[in-house]
């Protein structure tokens, strides 16, 4: 390792090279004549020659190496002159033939040459500077792959590349559409915050936290962007999916790096990200075309986006867990070695995959990270909502998530039960209401019983929204702006549209039966196991622990990502959640229902906005309003989007509060946001005239 002043000189040199390359890339992106394009290639080749010559010397730091480096640089510089000479000839011939010197856009071969040369420059620079400073990254001595990892996972590559990307974005800021420039700037910042760049523990911690925060910020921005822009350019839509695929691989790479020091996947992902970045800045024209991709009509695209975000988040969560609480994560996830006969390897692979996902999605830092991301989208929805009840519910959603998904299961649980097994392994403690038989669980059966009573009573009094619309983490996940916009898939998705409406179809009944039956079976097996009558474990865990993990830590997230195929809130619409089934049963016998002030207004309504706004896809509600003036469905989660959507303010949620006011002879409390007058679809006559006048009045409707 060299001294501080020499390091400073190298750093300044690297910064100079990065600035020069960024300038050349700007030139390459805007070059429209053969001569300009040839000049860019010539200058990039010159840079390769210079760095390559230096590399030859540092590989053999001797007089022979110096001469070799000199010859290498001279030879390549001579070759590079050919390029500019050829470009000059082409341009002269074009002028002689009267052809325009300005071309329509960069050609594929030219772009590939620029991209390849930039990449080559970076690799050579990382290698040369690493040798000069004696700081080549880990594995650099182990063959070609090791060398590749050592070069890429070094400060000379990662910082130079990140700085170069940031500067390029700045230089091309006027040529790029705003959202593309923002995403590229975020991409550059994430590259700069690469944890393997430095060996210091302080840097590692800082880069993991700051890099994760930057990535979460980027995901929030992207989610909100697609919520506000339902049409995208084809280029941007493609770019986002590729970027998220790269980030999925990068976060897995970082997890593997932190878990066992293997940096190969991270290095590959970095190069892929860099190629994606430069491909975008060099070919920005398609990003300025009119947006034509309606993403709500593209379930495959939406699925790829959600899957990319989710995979990146799972590994980011695991990375944060490993960094912040390695002992707790190691206790929750104990991988089996993938060795032995094929059957054993297959079992161990399933075991590892299942428990890795279950342990990560139930871990504090994954949930905290998801809470920040999805909670921000819920906050955006809060700002848009105008109904007081919806606003209060959304605040409760965020508070409940913070308390019951993050604080109590982690900080509080650790303080009250020090040394106890992970909270995720004791389903009794959560709101999931499993009936496990873990030692700790047996001591809190009273709490479990109380949880059942409270959940049942809340569902009976206020409807399922007490659980599914407020308390459950699903409310936060599905109620943010973007996921809420994905309710369009409830109607269009192949599977989702089969579950539309309030009817409990055969498929729904089978799924719910399997969920409740599975819970009872797991509980029985668990009790028998504890009593020593039947020794049974599933994937190495108590049956109830396994069943809880399967339901809420694995299946729930799988179906969440599959929203574009299954529709939103699919835990409700498909009926696979046993907690939802219990809440549903209590809702059926309780006070909760949707009521309208005037069935006649619904009969004359042509928008049916209430049905369109429902995230559960209860499309048959207008029919019930028209005939009975109310709608009662055990599937309804009471999120109240229908209430806010009714343009005539005709709809409201009825629960125990209304019942009490009726009994006490008190007037109903009225909250009206939309009070549009109803335009008659046909000449008003008879009772319709009265209804029309009532609907147009700014006061409450009769019958309320």
Stretch that binds ligand SF4, among 3-11, 70-78, 332-340, 466-474 (CB under 6 A): 466-474
Q: Does 427 bind ligand SF4 (CB under 6 A)?
A: no
- Closer CB to ligand SF4, 189 or 458, in the complex: 458
- Closer CB to ligand SF4, 648 or 654, in the complex: 648
Q: How far is the CB of 573 from ligand SF4 (least distance, A)?
A: 9
Q: Give the strand pairing for 651-654 and 630-631.
A: unpaired
Q: Which two tokens stand for residue 600?
A: 């006649």
Q: Does 514 bind ligand SF4 (CB under 6 A)?
A: no
The correct pick among 188, 579, 587, 634 for binding ligand SF4 (CB under 6 A) is: 579
> How is the beta sheet containing 651-654 ordered, strand by strand?
630-631, 593-596, 651-654
CA pair distance 507, 529, nearest whole angstrom: 32
13, exposed or middle or buried, with CB in 10 Å at 0-12, 13-18, 19+? middle
Q: Which two tokens stand for residue 414?
A: 């650790």
Q: Does 614 bind ligand SF4 (CB under 6 A)?
A: no
- Closer CB to ligand SF4, 251 or 467, in the complex: 467
Q: Does 646 bind ligand SF4 (CB under 6 A)?
A: yes
- Closer CB to ligand SF4, 287 or 652, in the complex: 652
Q: Does 625 bind ligand SF4 (CB under 6 A)?
A: yes
The correct pick among 609, 632, 644, 691 for binding ligand SF4 (CB under 6 A) is: 609
CA pair distance 22, 28, nearest whole angstrom: 10
Stretch that binds ligand SF4, among 322-330, 455-463, 506-514, 600-608 (CB under 6 A): 600-608
Q: Does 467 bind ligand SF4 (CB under 6 A)?
A: yes
- Closer CB to ligand SF4, 319 or 642, in the complex: 642
Residue 394 · residue 378 · CB < 8 Å: yes
- Closer CB to ligand SF4, 26 or 381, in the complex: 381
CA pair distance 600, 694, nearest whole angstrom: 10
The correct pick among 166, 468, 618, 639 for binding ligand SF4 (CB under 6 A) is: 468
Q: Does 577 bind ligand SF4 (CB under 6 A)?
A: yes
Q: How far is the CB of 620 from ligand SF4 (least distance, A)?
A: 11
The correct pick among 601, 614, 618, 636 for binding ligand SF4 (CB under 6 A) is: 601
Gyration radius of the chain's alpha carbons: 31
Residues in region 352-391 near ligand SF4 by CB under 6 A: none
Q: Does 622 bind ligand SF4 (CB under 6 A)?
A: yes
- Closer CB to ligand SF4, 48 or 651, in the complex: 651
> Which positions ≥6 away from 536 have C-beta within 8 Å?
525, 528, 529, 543
Q: Does 562 bind ligand SF4 (CB under 6 A)?
A: no
- Closer CB to ligand SF4, 117 or 476, in the complex: 476
Query: CA–CA distance from 436 to each of 32, 428, 527 (Å)?
Result: 70, 6, 8
Q: How far is the CB of 205 from ligand SF4 (least distance, A)?
A: 34
How many C-beta neighbours within 10 Å does residue 411 have? 11
Q: Does 72 bind ligand SF4 (CB under 6 A)?
A: no
Residue 469 · residue 583 · CB < 8 Å: no
- Closer CB to ligand SF4, 194 or 559, in the complex: 559
Q: Which two tokens stand for residue 620?
A: 């048959």
DSSP string, 399-433: HHIIIIIIIIIIIIHHHHSTTPPPGGG-GGGSTT-
Closest CA to 454 of 404, 491, 521, 413: 404
- Closer CB to ligand SF4, 10 or 477, in the complex: 477
Q: Does 571 bind ligand SF4 (CB under 6 A)?
A: yes
The correct pick among 650, 652, 655, 694 for binding ligand SF4 (CB under 6 A) is: 650
Backbone CA torsion sign across 522, 523, 527, 533: negative
CA pair distance 159, 153, nearest whole angstrom: 10
* x/- map, 175-214, ligand SF4, by CB under 6 A: ----------------------------------------
Stretch that binds ligand SF4, among 28-36, 142-150, 313-321, 604-612 (CB under 6 A): 604-612
Q: Does 608 bind ligand SF4 (CB under 6 A)?
A: yes
The DSSP secondary-structure symbol of 700 reads: P
Q: Which two tokens stand for residue 184?
A: 């590229």
Q: Does 477 bind ligand SF4 (CB under 6 A)?
A: no
Closest CA to 109 of 121, 117, 100: 117
230, exposed or middle or buried, with CB in 10 Å at 0-12, 13-18, 19+? middle
Stretch that binds ligand SF4, among 92-100, 187-195, 268-276, 602-610 (CB under 6 A): 602-610
Q: Residue 655 phi/psi, 5° resolution?
A: -145, -160
Q: How far is the CB of 518 from ligand SF4 (least distance, A)?
A: 14
Helix axes 264-282, 178-192, angle to 10 degrees: 150
> Which positions ≥6 away from 623 have C-beta within 8 Å?
none
Strand partners, 538: 541
- Closer CB to ligand SF4, 348 or 630, in the complex: 630
196, exposed or middle or buried, with CB in 10 Å at 0-12, 13-18, 19+? buried
Q: Does 516 bind ligand SF4 (CB under 6 A)?
A: no
The correct pick among 49, 216, 448, 474 for binding ligand SF4 (CB under 6 A) is: 474
Q: Does 466 bind ligand SF4 (CB under 6 A)?
A: no
Q: Vertex 106, ends 105 and 111: CA angle to 5°?
A: 160
CA pair distance 624, 596, nearest whole angstrom: 10
Q: Give the strand pairing for 630-631 and 231-232.
A: unpaired
Query: Looking at beta carbons, which residue is closest to ligand SF4?
Result: 580
Q: Does 586 bind ligand SF4 (CB under 6 A)?
A: no
Q: Does 113 bind ligand SF4 (CB under 6 A)?
A: no
Q: What is the 3-state secondary structure (H, E, C) of 384-402?
A: HCCCHHHHHHHHHHHHHHH
Q: How far is the CB of 469 from ligand SF4 (least distance, A)?
A: 8
The correct pick among 129, 401, 499, 648 for binding ligand SF4 (CB under 6 A) is: 648
The correct pick among 300, 607, 627, 693 for binding ligand SF4 (CB under 6 A) is: 607
Residue ranges in contact with ligand SF4 by CB under 6 A: 467-468, 472, 474, 571-572, 577, 579-580, 596, 601-602, 605, 607-610, 622, 625, 646, 648, 650-651
């Amino acid at each position: 390792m060299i001294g501080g002043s020499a390091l400073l000189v190298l750093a300044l040199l690297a910064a100079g090279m990065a600035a020069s390359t960024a300038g050349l890339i700007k030139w390459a992106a805007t070059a429209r004549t053969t001569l300009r394009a040839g000049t860019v290639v010539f200058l990039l080749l010159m840079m390769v020659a210079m760095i390559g010559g230096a590399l030859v010397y540092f590989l053999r730091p001797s007089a022979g190496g110096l001469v070799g480096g000199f010859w290498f640089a001279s030879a390549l510089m001579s070759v590079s002159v050919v390029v500019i000479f050829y470009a000059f000839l082409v341009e002269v011939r074009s002028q002689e033939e009267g052809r325009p010197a300005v071309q329509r856009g960069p050609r594929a071969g030219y772009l590939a040459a620029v991209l390849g040369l930039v990449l080559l420059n970076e690799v050579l620079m990382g290698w040369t500077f690493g040798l000069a400073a004696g700081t080549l990254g880990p594995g650099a001595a182990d063959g070609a792959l090791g060398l590749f990892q050592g070069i890429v996972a070094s400060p000379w590559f990662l910082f130079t590349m990140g700085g170069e990307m940031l500067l390029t974005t700045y230089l091309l800021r006027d040529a790029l559409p705003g959202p593309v420039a923002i995403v590229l700037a975020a991409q550059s910042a994430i590259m700069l915050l690469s944890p393997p760049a430095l060996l210091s523990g302080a840097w590692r911690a800082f880069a993991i936290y700051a890099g994760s925060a930057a990535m979460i910020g980027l995901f929030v921005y992207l989610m909100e962007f697609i919520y506000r822009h339902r049409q995208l350019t084809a280029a941007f839509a493609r770019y986002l999916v590729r970027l998220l695929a790269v980030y999925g691989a990068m976060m897995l790479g970082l997890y593997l790096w932190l878990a066992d020091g293997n940096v190969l996947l991270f290095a590959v992902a970095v190069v892929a990200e860099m190629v994606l970045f430069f491909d975008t800045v060099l070919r920005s024209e398609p990003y300025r075309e009119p947006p034509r991709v309606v993403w709500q009509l593209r379930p495959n695209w939406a699925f790829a986006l959600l899957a990319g975000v989710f995979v990146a988040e799972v590994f980011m969560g695991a990375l944060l867990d490993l960094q912040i609480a390695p002992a707790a994560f190691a206790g929750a996830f104990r991988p089996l070695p993938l060795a032995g006969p094929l059957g054993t390897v297959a079992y161990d692979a399933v075991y590892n995959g299942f428990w890795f996902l279950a342990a990560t999605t139930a871990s504090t830092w994954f949930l905290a990270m998801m809470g920040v991301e999805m909670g921000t989208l819920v906050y955006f929805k809060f700002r848009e909502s105008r109904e007081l009840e919806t606003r209060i519910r959304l605040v409760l959603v965020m508070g409940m998530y913070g308390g019951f998904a993050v604080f109590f299961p982690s900080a509080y649980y650790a303080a009250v039960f020090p040394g106890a097994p992970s909270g995720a392994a004791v389903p009794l403690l959560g709101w999931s209401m499993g009936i496990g038989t873990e030692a700790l669980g047996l001591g809190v059966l009273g709490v479990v019983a109380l949880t059942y009573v409270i959940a049942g009573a809340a569902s009976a009094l206020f409807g399922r929204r007490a659980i599914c619309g407020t308390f459950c983490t699903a409310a936060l996940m599905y109620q943010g702006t973007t996921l809420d916009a994905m309710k369009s898939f409830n109607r269009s998705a192949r599977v989702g549209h089969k579950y539309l409406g309030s009817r409990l179809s055969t498929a729904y009944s089978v799924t719910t039966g399997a969920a409740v039956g599975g819970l009872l079976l797991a509980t029985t097996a668990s009790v028998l196991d504890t009593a020593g009558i039947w020794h049974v474990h599933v994937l190495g865990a108590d049956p109830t622990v396994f069943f809880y993990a399967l339901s809420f830590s694995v299946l729930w997230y799988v179906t969440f990502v599959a929203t574009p195929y299954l529709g939103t809130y699919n835990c409700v619409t498909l009926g696979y959640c046993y907690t939802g089934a219990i809440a549903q049963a209590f809702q059926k016998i309780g006070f909760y229902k949707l009521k309208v002030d005037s069935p006649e207004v619904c009969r004359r309504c042509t928008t049916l906005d209430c049905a369109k706004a429902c995230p559960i896809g209860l499309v048959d509600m207008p029919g019930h309003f028209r005939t009975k003036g109310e709608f009662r469905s055990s599937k309804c989660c009471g999120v109240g989007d229908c209430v806010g959507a009714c343009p005539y303010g005709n709809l409201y949620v009825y629960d125990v509060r209304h019942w009490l006011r009726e009994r006490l002879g008190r007037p109903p409390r009225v909250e009206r946001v939309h009070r549009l007058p109803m335009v008659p679809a046909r000449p008003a006559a008879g009772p319709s005239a009265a209804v029309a006048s009532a609907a147009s009045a700014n006061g409450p409707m009769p019958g309320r």
